[in-house]
């Protein structure tokens, strides 16, 4: 199971999402607009740590961020779009952090270690998703934009009659499940230990 290739693919997909503007949230191009959009996302994340997501309103987000509703709608169509952008940008930022520039097979474990180091740093986001019963959204944001063209590109994974999309879905769910389980255990294992576990799973 080529999990390192899956991680690379998720990065490319999420990058494509941001560039193509396939969401209701705006693809920002200027430094100022990117900064403002990220500030709104982080404001939502902070609020999610204080009150249930179901009780959060756009008005309250605007109040906490000290902006008008009109300004909010320049960046997002809804609070769900703001949350989706938060997760998408987290995935994109993370992949640029833990993927090395080269593709050497010897770098696979390094990718795994960096992968878990990064997600350990995202404990606030994971906590917000878990406490609001939105853990599945992490998987959904990793998978939702895989169109038929992307599915076809996963045939390098196919080693049986099982379709490549089903295989990639299984792997992404597994990765997200490991992250959530690791968080709920209090990150008792180190990123290096988690990387070893993932290596054992993928080499059996």
pLDDT digits (tens, 9 = 90+) for 89-132: 998 888 777 766 555 554 778 888 989 999 999 999 999 999 99
Higher pLDDT among residues 8 and 127, named by residue: 127
| CATH number of the structural domain spanning residue 150 | 1.10.357
> Would the pLDDT of 64 be above 70?
yes
**Residue 94 within any structural domain of the chain:** yes
**Residue 33 within any structural domain of the chain:** no
* Residue 3 binned pLDDT confidence (cut-offs 50, 70, 90): low
pLDDT at position 108:
79
pLDDT at position 156:
44
How many domains would you assign to the chain? 1
88 class by beta-carbon count within 10 Å (0-12 exposed, 13-18 middle, 19+ buried): buried
**Residue 65 within any structural domain of the chain:** no
**Residue 191 within any structural domain of the chain:** yes
The pTM assigned to this predicted structure is 0.80
Domain of 196 in residue numbering reads as 3-23+80-202
pLDDT digits (tens, 9 = 90+) for 141-198: 877 655 444 554 544 444 455 556 677 777 888 888 999 999 999 999 999 999 999 8
């Amino acid at each position: 199971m080529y999990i390192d290739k899956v991680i690379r693919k998720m990065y490319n997909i999420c990058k494509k999402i941001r560039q193509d503007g396939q969401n209701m949230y705006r693809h920002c191009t200027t430094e100022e607009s990117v900064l403002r959009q990220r500030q709104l996302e982080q404001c939502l994340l902070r609020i999610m740590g204080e009150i249930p997501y179901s009780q959060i309103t756009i008005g309250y987000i605007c109040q906490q961020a000290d902006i008008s509703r009109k300004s909010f709608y320049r960046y997002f169509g809804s609070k769900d779009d703001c949350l989706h952008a938060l997760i998408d940008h987290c995935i994109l930022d993370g992949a640029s952090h833990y993927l090395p520039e080269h593709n050497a097979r010897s770098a696979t474990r390094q990718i795994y270690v960096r992968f878990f180091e990064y997600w350990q740093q995202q404990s606030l986001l994971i906590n917000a998703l878990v406490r609001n019963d939105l853990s599945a959204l992490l998987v959904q944001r990793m998978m939702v934009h895989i169109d038929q063209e992307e599915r076809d590109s996963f045939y390098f994974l196919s080693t049986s009659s099982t379709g490549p999309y089903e295989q990639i879905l299984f792997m992404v769910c597994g990765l997200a499940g490991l992250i959530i389980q690791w968080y709920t255990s209090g990150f008792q294992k180190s990123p290096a230990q988690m990387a070893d576990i993932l290596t054992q799973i993928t080499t059996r």
